[in-house]
Structure 1
Amino acid sequence: MEFNLNNDDDLSIEKFELMLKTNEVGFFDSDEFEEIIEHYLENGKMALARKAIHLAMNQHPSSVNLKLFHAEMLIFDDKFELAHELLDELHELQPHNSEIFIQKANIFSKTEQHEKAINLLNDALQLTDDKADVYNLIGMEFLFIEDYSSAKLNFMQCLELDDTDYSALYNIIYCFDFLQENQQAIDFLNMFLNKNPYCEVAWHQVGKQYFDLKMYEKSLAAFEFAIISDDHFVGAYLEKGKVLEKLGRYNEAIENYQITLELDDPTSFAYLRLGKCFNKLGNSELAIKYFKKTINEDPLLDKGWISIVDYYSKQLNYPKALSYIEKAIEVDGENALYWTRYAHLNKRLNFFEEAEYGYRKAIELGNYEQETWLSRADILLALGETEAVVSNLNYGLEFYPQQVEMEYRIAGAYYKLNQKVKARFHLQNALKTDPEYIIILEELFPELMKEKEVKDLIARYS
């Protein structure tokens, strides 16, 4: 049976797509075109939306709604001047059409003129019947300019009009979180729950707020209500597991994490937490099993690799730990945490050149912890690289001025290099800060303790 392009019983979208395949031109009324274009825009099929708009404008050149879709596509394609011109024309025809104001606001938003966008959206608010959507758009504009209090109020207005708009609810909580208003967030969510007692999303958010406040029993109760409201809510089981861990109830946490594996595809987070729980319970076999499942599920999750490395390190199996950190570095060689552990393990195994390289890479990648500078300095000293010790510690002192352990080490290195003025300067700084740390000089530079200048300085400040 042939497909009749002009058969009104056929679905508009099927008709349109068949027309494209057959190169025939069929007629669609303006309502059909609106349905077709909206379908493609909502599904992100922009090329098909453009074709539909082009044909629609040919068949219905005076339709305001279709011209609005055309303006929306122009804005999407960053053709702002053309969109402005078209919207101005439409405003002359329909000065009270709220969608015209919304699309103009969209242009200002995309060109980072957010105050102008907000003004236009407020105008649209006076004209539209769909106020919830406009409040949501205004809230987003306030987010762009980091006015979280105003954003929050507009999202609240949106939710007041449409209590099923969970994106608005999430945005409200995001604003509370940014403003560090945990208790206010809880109060708001409790008011919302008085009207919507089975809203699993709200219970979930209450639980997270109590968790951040370390009120774990209340957090646990909230997640349990979320699960009562929706017993397939994977996120609630995961969060409940986290709370149970905090309460030391590891077996119950394991049960909740395992439920998530049954309800949905396994996640690296669930595997990782299962490994941590079994590790706490002393079940080494299952702990390492789930840590390995973690990295198989998500090789880019550094917590998975680090958990395995730390597990073998605690077992004093340093070669095994090193083999895993080397695999982790193969996956992501730009992770400073990996290089720090690589350096520590090589140091444990007395592979000093490899350890020094690890610490150097960690610093290059932004690990500026005091311990990294100090450990690298000690390794360089053991390798006889005294000038490199000085260079390393001078860099470290930029981040930690007058850090006493660095000062003693760099003083000793300068004495070894016979740069006595600099050595004296740093030794005096160190002794003024904490003379008891002279033990560093005694351990790392015992030969210096016999020098008269060093003895005199110690005597002066002790």
Structure 2
Amino acid sequence: MPSNPNEYNNFPLSRFESMLKTNDVYFFDSEEFEEIIQYYLENGKVALAKKATKLGLEQHPTSTNLKLFQIEMFIFENDLETAEALLDNLYALEQNNEEVYIQKANILSRRDDHKKAIQLLEMALKITNDECDVLSLIGMEYLFLEDFESAKHYFMRCLEQDEHDYSALYNIIYCFEFLDQYEAAIDYLNDFLNKNPYCEVAWHQVGKMYYILKEYNKALAAFDFAIISDDSFIGAYLEKGKTLERLKRYEEAIESYSITLGLDDPTSFALLRIGKCYEKLGDGELALQFFTKCVEEDGLLDKGWIAITDNYIKSKDYEKALYFIEKAINIDGENVLYWKRYARINLRLQHLEEAEHGFRRTLELGNYELETWLSRSDLLIKLGEFQASVNNLFQASEFYPENAEIEFRLAGLFYILKETRKAEFHLKNGLKTNPDFLMILEELFPKVIARNQVRQIITKHKNTSV
């Protein structure tokens, strides 16, 4: 059965759509309805597919295939009970129809009962004329179960049935990768290439395996074979570019990435990598041009905005760096990487309140690195916000207990706040944890470390630890 009405010059489809516009009722045979429904499903027009199914069943109420389409719609809408009831009725009449088993398995899969789904698909496999499709479905169920060895076995059987089923090939490689079986993947792909020497997808995957194993020259050779097999294969040029970068052959990497720009609309990835290559070659101006093109192509790609910002930071043009990181934040205010740079740039510019805000947002967004807590604490000290700094450090201590850098800061703060007992507790704790960080008191609290009582505690610790 043709799956696309274009094979019949769209005549059933155009008649059907004309009928919808005029509210007239035309007769279609059941196969024409099947073509129309299949077309709408393949093009994501589910509402029209439902309408065609309903009208089809009104004209052909006994059509098994139309009933199966109806069941598929109910499953798609997650109305599993209705779908199951219809399937049970159909099963009583069509026990040798593999689609009944496939749809029953589909329902079980939706309910996360993958083992029973596999049992039904195995039954479908015994009676189907399209083994490849069923083998692929079984493979997917094993993927859901995270049984990658079994999944790999079924996808391999599928590829044996149809050597052009590249989705099966990709799934096989996915299983190999998940199992860290990279050498085995290469062996399998080489066997496949012995039978299909011009399969660009297989060469591409071999290259990716060698790249993971850091065998970059072998990876490069594989990507070249992929390009020989299909000189318009964008993925091969991109992977070749990445590999050339690893080999520090930046001019050749730029050439490989640039070819992709002529094959299709420019990708932000290619533009970013060309910029990075120019950066490695010391041409900051050209790098900046490509980083700018990258964010023009995809304003949501954080690596593009970060590359522009870092480029200006390297040239110590902090005002421009701040301008671009603020643009990035206006697009995506939940990006931790943006806020970290915002804080650091403002710190360089001595915009202390803005820098503190940047570190606070970084923490609020879940970046709990020790450096972030300490940087915010030090800024709050400079701003005279001593209690806020204490609160910040207590939060940090939940993630980094018994940390000397935190303890010495708390000691200094509590001396300033005239809470001597707490100050002495944290000072002694800091000395006990790591006395090398005593310099924190000297740098942040010079007046505190000059106090006699503080010097006495430090001297006593040194004497007792000798």
Q: State the TM bucket, normalised to the shorter chain.
A: over 0.9
- CA change 1:133–1:354 in 2 (3 A) is same
Residue aligning to 2:414: 414
Q: Secondary structure at the match of 1:189?
A: helix
Q: List gaps (5 residues or longer) in structure 2.
A: 1-7
Residue aligning to 1:273: 273
Distance 2:170 2:422 in 1: 58
Is it true that 1:80 corresponds to 2:80 in the alignment?
Answer: yes
Q: Is the 8 A contact 1:74 1:82 kept in 2?
A: yes
1:460: how far off?
A: 4.2
Distance 2:186 2:217 in 1: 15
1:196: how far off?
A: 1.8
Is it true that 1:112 corresponds to 2:112 in the alignment?
Answer: yes
Distance 2:286 2:223 in 1: 27
Residue aligning to 2:189: 189
Match for 2:307: what amino acid? Answer: S
Greater shift in the superposed pair: 268-277 or 213-222: 213-222
Residue aligning to 1:397: 397
Distance 1:219 1:249 in 2: 14
Residue aligning to 1:31: 31
1:419: how far off?
A: 2.6
Distance 1:415 1:286 in 2: 53
Q: List gaps (5 residues or longer) in structure 1.
A: 1-7
Distance 1:127 1:426 in 2: 76
Match for 1:388: what amino acid? Answer: A
Distance 1:10 1:391 in 2: 70
Is it true that 1:262 corresponds to 2:272 in the alignment?
Answer: no
1:9: how far off?
A: 9.8
1:127: how far off?
A: 1.6
Is it true that 1:44 corresponds to 2:15 in the alignment?
Answer: no
Residue aligning to 1:149: 149
1:34: how far off?
A: 2.1
Residue aligning to 1:298: 298
- CA change 1:434–1:79 in 2 (3 A) is closer
Q: Is the 8 A contact 1:435 1:461 kept in 2?
A: no
Residue aligning to 2:210: 210
Match for 1:119: what amino acid? Answer: Q
1:137: how far off?
A: 1.1
Q: Could you tell me the TM-score, scaled by structure 2's length?
A: 0.93
- CA change 1:457–1:119 in 2 (3 A) is farther
1:411: how far off?
A: 2.1
- CA change 1:400–1:21 in 2 (3 A) is same
- CA change 1:196–1:9 in 2 (3 A) is closer
Q: Secondary structure at the match of 1:146?
A: coil
- Percent of aligned pairs sharing the same letter: 61
Residue aligning to 1:70: 70
In the alignment of these two chains, the number of paired residues is 455
Distance 2:237 2:320 in 1: 34
Distance 2:74 2:45 in 1: 15
Q: Is the 8 A contact 1:407 1:430 kept in 2?
A: yes
Q: Per-residue displacement from partner, 1:208-243 (whole Å, max 9, x unpaired)?
A: 222222221111111111111111011111111111
- The equivalences for 1:166-181 within 5 A come to 166-181=166-181
Calculate the aligned-residue CA RMSD, in Å: 1.9
1:453: how far off?
A: 4.0
1:297: how far off?
A: 1.0
1:28: how far off?
A: 2.2
Match for 1:238: what amino acid? Answer: L
Distance 2:208 2:9 in 1: 51
Distance 2:242 2:406 in 1: 40
Residue aligning to 2:164: 164
Match for 2:408: what amino acid? Answer: Y
Residue aligning to 2:3: none
- CA change 1:120–1:453 in 2 (3 A) is farther
1:54: how far off?
A: 1.9
Residue aligning to 2:318: 318
- CA change 1:405–1:10 in 2 (3 A) is closer
Q: Could you tell me the TM-score, scaled by structure 1's length?
A: 0.93
1:25: how far off?
A: 2.5
1:82: how far off?
A: 2.4
1:322: how far off?
A: 1.0
Is it true that 1:373 corresponds to 2:380 in the alignment?
Answer: no
Is it true that 1:11 corresponds to 2:11 in the alignment?
Answer: yes
- CA change 1:347–1:10 in 2 (3 A) is closer
Q: Per-residue displacement from partner, 1:339-381 (whole Å, max 9, x unpaired)?
A: 1111111111111111111110111111211211111111111
Match for 2:270: what amino acid? Answer: A
Residue aligning to 2:5: none
Residue aligning to 2:95: 95
1:194: how far off?
A: 2.2
- CA change 1:57–1:347 in 2 (3 A) is same
Distance 2:130 2:389 in 1: 68
